[in-house]
Structure 1
Amino acid sequence: MEVEFVRQEDESVQVVADNIRGTGEVPERYVRSEIKADPVIVDAEGYNLPVIDMSRLLNPEFSEEEIAKLGSACEHWGFFQLVNHGLDEGLLQQIKMDITKFFSLPLEEKLAVAIPPNGMEGFGHHFVFSKEQKLDWVDLLFLATRPIERRNLTLWPAKPSTFRDTLDKYSLELANVSAQLFKFMANNLGVDQEALLSTFKGLPQSMRINYYPPCCQADRVLGLSPHTDGVGMTFLLQVNDVEGLQIRKDGKWFSVQAMNGALVVNIGDVLEILTNGRYKSIEHRAIVNSNKERITIAVFQSAHLFCTIGPLQELLKAGKAHYNAVDGVEFTKGYFAAKLEGRRTSRHVPKRFSQSNHAQRQGRQISMAHARAAGSLPVANVQELAQTCNRSDEQVPERYIRADANTEEVITDYGNTSTIPIIDLSKLYDPQSSHEECAKLGSACQQWGFFQLINHGVPDEVICKLKKDIADFFNLPLETKKTYSQLPNNLEGYGQVFVVSEKQKLDWADMFYLVVRPDEARDMRFWPAHPPSFRKSIDTYSSETAKVARCLLEFMAKDMGAEPASLLELFQGQPQGLRMNYYPPCRQASKVLGMSPHTDASGLTLLLQVNDMPGLQIRRDGKWFTVDALQGAFIVNVGDVLEILSNGKYTSVEHRAVVHPNRERISAAVFHRPCQDAMVGTLPELLKEGNSKARYRSMSYMEFMKRYYSAKLDGRNHLERLRNEL
Structure 2
Amino acid sequence: MDSNDWPEPIVPVQSISDSCTHVIPDQYIQPPSRRPSPDLIKNVNIPIIDFHDLTTGDGKMVEYCPATVKEISDACREWGFFQAVNHGLSHELLHRVKDVWRQFFHLPMVEKRKYSNSPINYEGYGSRLGIEKKAILDWGDYYFLHILPTSLKDHSKWPSVPPSTTDTVEEYGKEAVKFCRMVMRALSLSLGLDVGKLEQSFEDDSGDGVGSCLRVNFYPKCPQPDLTLGLSPHSDPGGLTLLLADDHVQGLQFRREDGWGTIRSLPDAFIVNILSNGVYKSVEHRVMANSTIERISLAFFFNPKSDLLIGPMADLISTENPPLYRSMTFNEYRVYIRKNGPKGKSHLESLKS
What TM-score do you get using the length of structure 2 for normalisation?
Answer: 0.90
> Corresponding residue for 2:224?
588
Q: CA offset at residue 677 of structure 1? A: 2.7
Q: Distance in 2 between matches of 1:617 and 1:433?
A: 34
User: Does 1:635 pair with 2:271?
Assistant: yes
Gaps of 5+ in 1: 1-312, 314-319, 325-373
User: Does 1:446 pair with 2:70?
Assistant: no
Q: CA offset at residue 488 of structure 1? A: 5.5
Change (3 A) 1:540 1:407: closer
> Corresponding residue for 2:352?
723
> Corresponding residue for 1:559?
190
Report 1:308-707 matches (<5 A): 378-388=9-19, 391-393=20-22, 395-403=23-31, 404-406=33-35, 411-414=40-43, 418-428=44-54, 434-487=65-118, 489-572=120-203, 573-638=209-274, 642-643=275-276, 647-687=277-317, 689-707=318-336
* Structure 2 residue matching 1:659: 3-state secondary structure: coil
> Corresponding residue for 1:338?
none
* Structure 2 residue matching 1:520: 3-state secondary structure: coil
Q: Distance in 1 between matches of 2:245 and 2:63?
A: 31
Q: CA offset at residue 484 of structure 1? A: 1.0
Q: Distance in 1 between matches of 2:315 and 2:264?
A: 36
Alignment counterpart, residue 711 of structure 1, candidates 334, 337, 340 = 340
Q: CA offset at residue 410 of structure 1? A: 5.9
Give aligned pairs, total: 342
Change (3 A) 1:407 1:663: closer
Change (3 A) 1:378 1:608: farther
Instruction: Give a deviation string over 1:378-398, Cα, whole Å, max 9, x none.
Output: 52111010122xx344x2110
Gaps of 5+ in 2: 56-60, 204-208
Cα pair 1:615 1:658 within 8 Å, conserved: yes
Amino acid at match of 1:456: H
Q: Distance in 2 between matches of 1:405 and 1:635?
A: 24
Change (3 A) 1:508 1:537: same
Instruction: Give a deviation string over 1:180-212, Cα, whole Å, max 9, x none.
Output: xxxxxxxxxxxxxxxxxxxxxxxxxxxxxxxxx
Amino acid at match of 2:158: W
Cα pair 1:597 1:714 within 8 Å, conserved: yes
Change (3 A) 1:409 1:661: closer
Cα pair 1:376 1:490 within 8 Å, conserved: no
Q: Distance in 1 between matches of 2:39 and 2:149?
A: 39
Cα pair 2:119 2:338 within 8 Å, conserved: no
Q: CA offset at residue 563 of structure 1? A: 2.6
Q: Distance in 2 between matches of 1:489 and 1:714?
A: 20
Change (3 A) 1:531 1:392: same
* Structure 2 residue matching 1:445: 3-state secondary structure: helix
Cα pair 1:604 1:636 within 8 Å, conserved: yes
Q: CA offset at residue 723 of structure 1? A: 2.2
Q: Distance in 2 between matches of 1:514 and 1:590?
A: 31
Report 1:28-427 matches (<5 A): 378-388=9-19, 391-393=20-22, 395-403=23-31, 404-406=33-35, 411-414=40-43, 418-427=44-53
Larger Rg: 1
Instruction: Give a deviation string over 1:421-470, Cα, whole Å, max 9, x none.
Output: 01111234667971111111011111111110000001222112111101
Change (3 A) 1:531 1:695: same
Change (3 A) 1:446 1:378: farther
Amino acid at match of 1:673: N
What TM-score do you get using the length of structure 1 for normalisation?
Answer: 0.45
Change (3 A) 1:413 1:709: closer
Amino acid at match of 2:242: L
Q: Which deviates further from its counterpart, 559-568 or 472-481?
A: 559-568
Amino acid at match of 1:473: F
Change (3 A) 1:719 1:408: farther
Cα pair 1:495 1:512 within 8 Å, conserved: yes
Change (3 A) 1:691 1:431: closer
Instruction: Give a deviation string over 1:288-324, Cα, whole Å, max 9, x none.
Output: xxxxxxxxxxxxxxxxxxxxxxxxx7xxxxxx79xx9
> Corresponding residue for 1:97?
none
